[in-house]
Amino acid sequence: MDIQTRRKKQQALMLQMVERKVRSRAQQLYEKRGQTEGQDLQDWFQAESEVLENSILAPLYRRVKNGQTEEPEATEALG
C-alpha cells in the first residue's frame, strides 16, 4: 500500500471518529432538551463546535466538509 493510500485511509478513520463524537454529543443535547423535535441542526452545529474546539483534527474535518480532499500544499516565500 502506498503512502497516499495509507494517508487517505487514516484520514477517513479519523473523520469517522470525529463524526461519531459529534453525533453522540448532538444526541446528548437533544435528550437534555427533552427530546423536542425541530432543533436538530442547532444541536448538530453546537455539538460540532464543542467537539472541534480543542481537536487537532478540526482543520482536516473542516477541509473535508468543505469538499477539499487534498492536503494544502506548502509554499515557499520567494525573494
Q: Are 28 and 43 in contact (CB under 8 A)?
A: no
What is the chain's mean pLDDT, rounded?
Answer: 83
Q: What Cα–Cα distance (Å) separates residue 4 from each residue in 11, 25, 63, 66, 73?
A: 10, 32, 17, 20, 14
| pLDDT above 70 (res 40) | yes
Threshold 0.85, pTM exceeds: no
Length of the chain counted residue by residue:
79
> Is the residue at 33 inside a domain?
no
- For the chain, the domain total comes to 1
> Is the residue at 42 inside a domain?
yes
> Is the residue at 16 inside a domain?
no
> Is the residue at 61 inside a domain?
yes
> Is the residue at 43 inside a domain?
yes
Instruction: Residue 42: give the domain boundaries.
Output: 38-65
Q: Are 44 and 22 in contact (CB under 8 A)?
A: yes
> Is the residue at 9 inside a domain?
no
> Is the residue at 32 inside a domain?
no
| pLDDT above 70 (res 3) | yes
- Write the pLDDT tens digit of every residue in 21-32: 999 999 999 999
Identify the residue with better confidence: 29 or 10: 29
> Is the residue at 51 inside a domain?
yes
